[in-house]
Structure 1
Amino acid sequence: MGFLIRWVFAFVLLAATYNPTAWNFVRWSLDNYETNLSMTVLFGLILLVGYIIYLRATLRSIGVFGMVLILAVVGTLLWVLFDQGVISLDNPTVNTWIAIVALSIVLAIGLSWSIVRRRLTGQTDVDDIDE
Structure 2
Amino acid sequence: MGFLLRWLCALGLLTATYNPTQWNYLMWLRGDGRDQLPLAVLAGLILLIGYVIYLRATLRSIGAFGMALILALVGAMLWVLWDYGLIDLANRDLTVWLGLLTVSLVLGIGLSWSIIRRRLSGQADVDDVEE
The TM-score normalised by the length of structure 2 is 0.94
Q: Deviations over 1:34-67 (max 9, x none)?
A: 3100000000000011101110100000000100
State the shift of 1:120 in Å: 1.1
Q: Is the 8 A contact 2:114 2:125 kept in 1?
A: yes
Moved over 6 A (4+): none
Q: Is the 8 A contact 1:32 1:40 kept in 2?
A: no
Q: How many angstroms apart in 2 are the aligned matches of 1:41 and 1:73?
A: 36
Q: Is the 8 A contact 2:34 2:40 kept in 1?
A: no
Aligned to 1:17: 17
Q: How does 1:1-131 map to 2 (within 5 A)?
A: 1-127=1-127
Q: Deviations over 1:52-98 (max 9, x none)?
A: 11101000000001001100000000001111111111110111001
State the shift of 1:112 in Å: 0.8
Q: How many angstroms apart in 2 are the aligned matches of 1:3 and 1:40?
A: 30
Q: Which amino acid aligns with 1:4?
A: L
Give the unaligned 5+ runs of structure 2.
Answer: none
Q: Which amino acid aligns with 1:35?
A: D
Aligned-pair identity in percent equals 61
The TM-score normalised by the length of structure 1 is 0.94
